[in-house]
Amino acid sequence: MEIVADRMVAGGDALGRDADGRVVLIAGGLPVERVKVEITESKRSFARARVVEVLEASPDRVDPPCQYVADGCGGCDWQHIAVDSQPRFRREIVVDALKRIAKVPDAEAIVAAPVLLPAVGYRNTLRVLIRKGRPAFRRAQSHDPVPVGSCLVAHPLLDSLVRDAHFDGVTEAEMRCGTNTGERLVLAHPTTRYLSLPEDVVTIGSDQLERGGVAAITEEASGRRWRISARSFFQTRTDGAEKLAELVLAAVPDSATSVVDLYTGVGFFAGLVAQRGRRVQAVEGNQGAVKDARHNLKGLDVVVVRSDVARWEPQPADVVIADPARAGLGDKVVNRISRTEAQRVILVSCDAAALARDVSLFAAAGYQPVSVTPVDLFPHTSHIETVTVLDSTV
């Protein structure tokens, strides 16, 4: 089938229509180019396809800069798009999602130009499969391994492990580093029993974690030092975390005295807000992250609450900050946020469709978006990070 796509949509595919007018989501496609596709999933209302031949290329199409894309590596799904064009597409996806899903009439006006960050060597966290002692990434839309000898987007501290380290006796590993401290950690599955890595690398096995073992690195970001344990959440690039923090802090009104930070992780936003004289309640469900947050926030006016956010008991607040997982907040959490009677919500999202669904829920709860700022956290991928400011209309 030959098809011409109209636009990029949430999820990173190009959207076109077949001869019958049915929507076709094209992996590896770009707007305005004519491509031959293979249907990979067919339903009455839409189909999914992949590009098998580019007949008339978009000016935004390039040869992937990483050699392992040709081998099938699925880690970076936008390497066929010129890096300078990717931010424009991300902004268009956010605008499109807000218009279609959240019915925001002025979406074009409130979505800012993306904040740009370096496109290579940025990731401070990598999850890899291990085959015959060497790292591999998953094949696109598959769990099959693709062996690699380097990673374009990995920070050099981790890329050196991808290039040179051997992981005997391990089937999977998560690598982390402090890009400003030089510290490195490997969480291995199932065990570190046969693991042999450079002496500076802190190692722990999933079997040790299950028995209560602890391993952590530290990172310096936004003027503070942060302990990050093996399974605690921290943004996958430190310079990106700092940019997000700048946007979040700028959105907290001077008049605000009480702030709730939901999904606080290791306490990053909570600590920076508290440093500026606010009283903060930080809510987190992960036990290891709660311990990190209490360590990192010692001496600040912060109460760290261990709770599933969907079960958290709201308290009055001037501002709520929320940084949920990719699926977004959902109606239960939006309802709890509205019960705080906060005048402002600052929502950090990592998926455009989830953002739009949450904005729609907030509209029903009496909040309207006043600004949306994409941050180019994940170059060469379709992932989109945004900071959205919503104000109460009640």
pLDDT at 142: 86
3-class secondary structure, 155 = coil
Q: Give the domain-ending residue among 20, 41, 61.
A: 61
**Boundary-marking domain end, from 220, 252, 281:** 220
pLDDT given for residue 193 in this prediction? 85
The answer to the question of residue 105 being in a domain is yes
Q: Are residues 99 and 238 in the same domain?
A: yes
Mean pLDDT throughout 159-166?
95
Q: Read off the pLDDT of each residue in 367-385 and give the average, rounded to a whole number.
A: 97
- pLDDT of 114 > 90? The answer is yes
Contact 345, 334 (CB under 8 A): no
- E strand or H helix at 52: strand 46-56
Residue 8 near residue 15, CB atoms below 8 Å: yes
Residues 29 and 37 sit within 8 Å (Cβ to Cβ)? yes
Residues 186 and 142 occupy one common structural domain:
yes
Of the residues 154, 187, 220, which one is the last residue of a structural domain? Answer: 220
pLDDT for position 394: 87
**Arithmetic mean of pLDDT, 259-264:** 98
Closest to 376 measured CA to CA, from 11, 125, 30, 86: 86
Report the predicted TM-score, pTM, of the whole model to 2 decimal places. 0.95
The pLDDT-based confidence of 333 (bands split at 50, 70, 90) is very high
Q: What is the pLDDT of residue 195?
A: 87
Q: What is the pLDDT of residue 70?
A: 92
Instruction: Please check whether residue 192 lies inside any domain of the structure.
Output: yes
Query: Per-residue confidence at 17, pLDDT binned at 50, 70, 90?
Result: very high
Rounded CA separation 227/204 (Å) = 16
What pLDDT was estimated at residue 141?
80
pLDDT band at 5 (very low <50, low <70, confident <90, very high): very high
Q: pLDDT category, 261, cuts 50, 70, 90?
A: very high
In this model, does residue 40 exceed pLDDT 90? yes
Mean per-residue pLDDT, 5-11: 94
Q: Is the pLDDT of residue 345 over 90?
A: yes
Mean pLDDT computed over 28-35: 96
Cβ neighbours, 10 Å, residue 182 = 10
Q: Is residue 257 part of a domain?
A: yes
What is the average pLDDT across 175-188?
97
- Same domain for 97 and 21, yes or no, is no
Same structural domain for residues 307 and 376? yes
Tens digits of residue pLDDT in 288-300:
999 999 999 999 9
Residues 290 and 191 in one domain: no
Same domain (yes/no): 159, 54: no
Q: Examine residue 72 and state whether it is found in any structural domain, yes or no.
A: no
- Nearest alpha carbon to residue 5 among 44, 31, 36: 31
Q: How many domains does the chain have?
A: 3
pLDDT at 214: 92
pLDDT-derived band at 140, boundaries 50, 70, 90: confident
Q: Taking phi first (over 0 means left), then psi (-120 to 50 degrees means alpha), and beta for anything else, what does residue 328 get?
A: left
For residue 393, the model assigns a pLDDT of: 95
CATH number at residue 14: 2.40.50.140
Average pLDDT score over residue span 313-336: 97
82 assigned to some structural domain: no
68 within domain boundaries: no
Domain that includes residue 317, residue range: 91-118+233-392
**Residue 69 belongs to a domain:** no
Cα angle 22, 28, 29 (rounded to 5 degrees) comes to 50
Q: Please report how the helices 86-100 and 352-364 are oriented relative to each other, as an axis angle in degrees rounded to 10.
A: 30
Same domain, 174 and 315: no
Among all chains, which residue has been given the structure tokens 């009496």? Answer: 366
Mean pLDDT, residues 379-390: 97
Residues 100, 133, single domain; the answer is no
Instruction: Please give the pLDDT value at position 250.
Output: 98
CA 88 → CA 7, 185, 224, 247, 363, distances in Å? 12, 35, 33, 20, 26
Give me the mean pLDDT over the 317-341 stretch. Answer: 98
Task: State the pLDDT confidence band at 103, using cuts at 50, 70 and 90.
Answer: very high
Shared domain for 259 and 318, answered yes or no, is yes
| 377 pLDDT more than 90 | yes
Give the CATH number of the domain where residue 114 resides: 3.40.50.150
- pLDDT band at 194, cuts 50/70/90? confident
Residue 258, classed as helix, strand or coil, is strand
Same domain, 269 and 178: no
Task: Please state, as a whole number, how many other Cβ atoms lie within 10 Å of the Cβ of residue 57.
Answer: 14
Q: Please report whether residue 172 resides in a domain.
A: yes
Q: Specify whether 270 is located in the same domain as 298.
A: yes
Q: Are residues 258 and 373 in the same domain?
A: yes
Q: Tell me the pLDDT tens digit for each residue of 346-361.
A: 999 999 999 999 999 9
Query: What pLDDT shows up at residue 291?
Result: 97
